[in-house]
Amino acid sequence: MSPRTTFLLTLAGVILVGLPLPGLMQKRTYAPAASPAPAEETARRTVYAELRFSGQPQQLQVRQGKEEWLDIDCSNPHSEWVWQLPLSGMMELEIQGRWSDTAPHAVTLSLEPDGYATRSATEWKEEGSQELHSILRFSW
């Protein structure tokens, strides 16, 4: 091949490769994701809660914030219920329990809110104590 043909083929290759570069180099702005749901809809969501415990507690209660205490049925080793709780990114739940013995016992609370990942936390009642009082913090 002549030098002129080699030059023109090389130039054509450079142009073909270079054509998409300006489009790739431009700053792109993306449309925001779907608009968030109205405040009333996100203010409260359904939360499926499950509380499991070891041993046979005499009394177990759970509450969120300053709401009324929810008494847990201690006749089964686990209880399930549905709550309507605000999901503001962080939730604090308070657990109180009382056992007749002083052996260590565990309490596990699992929360599965609509549209969010399941979170769970376990607290242990210390050996030598009959009571458990703990605050569990969950964040989404």
pLDDT in tens, 68-89: 888 888 887 777 777 777 666 6
Domain that holds residue 82: 39-139
Determine, yes or no, domain membership for 21: no
Q: Which alpha helices (H) appear in 19-110, and where do they start and end?
A: 21-25, 39-43
Structural domain count of the chain: 1
Sheet holding 105-113, edge to edge: 78-85, 45-53, 105-113, 119-125
Determine, yes or no, domain membership for 4: no
What percentage of the chain exceeds 90 in pLDDT? 12
Determine, yes or no, domain membership for 13: no
| N-to-C CA span, the chain | 67
Q: Low-confidence residues of the chain, pLDDT below 70?
A: 21, 23-43, 86-89
Determine, yes or no, domain membership for 133: yes
pLDDT in tens, 29-47: 555 555 555 555 456 778 8
